[in-house]
Amino acid sequence: MSGASGIRCDSDLQRYNTLLTHSEVKRVRDKIQRIEEKRDGPGTRRHLLATSVRLSRSMAGDLHKMADHCVERLAINT
């Protein structure tokens, strides 16, 4: 396993696989993949990361507490 699949839980994988059985989801996924393959520059994921908003602890304290808890439970080295 690599990437996100390495940390997905069983219910996430079941939901993912269920979603992929829907024709509309498949159609959109295929369309995005075709766009990504034709693209010369950064893809959708990179664009989303580049345009994301960074929330400071003072702006979103509860969110940071949840993230800290996840980091601790998953033993992620930062």
The per-residue pLDDT for range 20-51, each reduced to its tens digit, is: 999 999 999 999 888 888 877 777 777 788 88
> What angle is formed at CA 55 by the lines to CA 39 and CA 5, rounded to 5 degrees?
50
The label of the residue with tokens 């959708």 reads: 44
CB burial string 18-36: b at 16+ within 10 A, e below: eeeeeeeeeeeeeeeeeee
Please report, for the chain, the start and end positions of each structural domain, with discontinuous segments joined by +.
Answer: 8-73
Residue-level pLDDT at 11:
79
Residue-level pLDDT at 44:
75
Share of the chain above pLDDT 90, in %: 36
Name every residue whose Cβ is closer than 8 Å to that of residue 76 and which is 6 or more positions away in sequence.
Answer: 70
Share of the chain above pLDDT 70, in %: 87
Q: How confident is the model at residue 3 (pLDDT cuts 50, 70, 90)?
A: low
Per DSSP, the three-state class of 4 is helix
